């Protein structure tokens, strides 16, 4: 799989168009909700996102590893939440102005998009790292046409797979229904 580094999205419009494109071409997406300790409440911004995205939840679990990120911090709580990539999420995901604003405390951390069971867009916002994983040159061309600056990084890149079927039975049904309704 080829890895492409996402250098920049120069305007809010490019970011908004990127989110629309990713929702249209992905099966699901994930974000990470951060809390300092197990007994700490979510801050008001994270609560607003969590409430708004609740109708689209597929699965959530505490994690210390997600695409392009692994934390050794065992005290803090990182809740990795997966959501169905529904266009109704668009207005929620464009509340921030830039892809790198997906970071605590103003938003959940590290928005990632998945298709066919693997992460094809991985973000580590606090590091200003964003990558697209694809062997399809059309995917890269479409992003460039949106105004997203993407540069080839490496081939044979490591992919991040999530087998959500093991976690919840209705995942395949939702994804298949989405694909069938778009035909």
What rounded mean pLDDT belongs to the chain? 89
- Dump pLDDT digits (tens) for 134-174: 999 999 999 999 999 999 998 878 778 776 666 554 545 65
Q: 124 - beta bridge partners?
A: 129
Pair 27, 121: CB distance under 8 Å = no
b or e along 101-132 (b: 16 or more beta carbons within 10 Å of the residue's beta carbon)? ebbbeebbbbbbbbbeebbbbbbbbeeeebbb
- Dump pLDDT digits (tens) for 93-133: 999 999 999 999 999 999 999 998 899 999 999 999 999 99
Pair 51, 129: CB distance under 8 Å = no
Pairing, β 109-115 against β 28-35: antiparallel
pTM confidence score: 0.87
Map out the domains of the chain as residue ranges: 2-181
- Dump pLDDT digits (tens) for 41-96: 889 999 999 999 999 999 999 998 898 888 888 889 999 999 999 999 999 999 99
């Amino acid at each position: 799989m080829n890895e492409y580094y996402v250098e920049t999205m120069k305007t809010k419009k490019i970011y908004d168009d990127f989110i629309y494109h990713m929702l249209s071409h992905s099966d699901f997406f994930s974000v990470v909700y951060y809390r300092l300790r197990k007994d700490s409440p979510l801050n008001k911004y994270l609560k607003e996102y969590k409430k708004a995205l609740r109708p689209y939840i597929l699965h959530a679990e505490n994690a210390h590893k997600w695409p392009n990120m692994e934390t050794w911090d065992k005290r803090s709580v990182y809740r990795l939440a997966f959501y169905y990539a529904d266009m109704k999420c668009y207005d929620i995901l464009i509340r921030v102005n830039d892809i790198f604003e997906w970071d605590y405390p103003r938003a959940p951390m590290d928005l990632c998009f998945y298709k066919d069971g693997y992460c094809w867009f991985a973000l580590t916002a606090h590091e200003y790292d964003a990558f697209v994983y694809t062997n399809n040159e059309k995917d890269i061309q479409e992003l460039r046409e949106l105004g997203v600056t993407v540069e080839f990084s490496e081939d044979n890149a490591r992919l991040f797979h999530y087998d959500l079927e093991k976690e919840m039975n209705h995942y395949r049904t939702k994804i298949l229904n989405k694909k069938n309704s778009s035909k």
